[in-house]
Amino acid sequence: MSLEGAPCIKSKSKINDDLMRYLSGRRVDFSKYRVDLQHLTPFQQAVLNETRKIPYGETITYSQLAERVGHPGAARAVGNALAKNPAPPIIPCHRIVAKNGPGGFSFGPKVKERLLSLESLSWRVSSTSARRRSP
């Protein structure tokens, strides 16, 4: 997976190095990268900005994210906003999962499950909070 050509990322060589490190299983802090979200609606921006706050190795559900952005009951709208993510995994939308499965992902469910497994995660989360997978 590459973000080559992503218009919102300025330092392509550094981001490519960090992406390769991440995809090889290393923990990478992507918070240092700025992502231009100005072309998105305020709701979409709120969803993606809140998604960036989910720590490495944790997941939350679409409905939990909807609550965090002040729109309880808007899980489907959250999913639609995540589909507009211009920079996965810099904005780690793979960490948002459905209550009964991994949920959708722009690159398909197998890629989402692979990204989750890189962080030693499964898609299963408790209904009240994020959970790490037991080793």
DSSP state string for 48-113: HHHHTTSPTT--EEHHHHHHHTT-TT-HHHHHHHHTT-SSTTTS-GGGEEBTTB----TT-HHHHH
When pLDDT is cut at 50, 70 and 90, the band that residue 127 belongs to is: very low
pLDDT of residue 130: 43
Q: What is the pLDDT of residue 122?
A: 58
Q: How many Cα neighbours within 13 Å face the side chain of 32?
A: 6
On whether the pTM is more than 0.75, the answer is yes
- H or E segment at 16? helix 12-23
According to the model, what pLDDT value does residue 121 have? 67
Neighbours of 135 (CB within 10 A): 4
List 54, 65, 93, 115, catalytic entry:
93
Mean pLDDT of 7-26: 78
Q: Say which range, 25-34, 43-52, 66-75, has the weakest mean pLDDT.
A: 25-34
Cα-based distances in Å from 65 to 12, 107, 133: 29, 20, 19
Average pLDDT of every residue of the chain? 83
Chain segment 72-115, per-residue pLDDT in tens: 999 999 999 999 999 988 999 999 999 887 888 888 888 888 88
Residue 44 reports pLDDT greater than 70: yes
- Name the CA radius of gyration of the chain, rounded: 14
Say whether 8 is catalytic: no
The answer to whether the beta carbons of residues 97 and 125 sit under 8 Å apart is yes
Residue 1 has pLDDT above 70, yes or no: no
Task: Report whether pLDDT(59) > 60.
Answer: yes
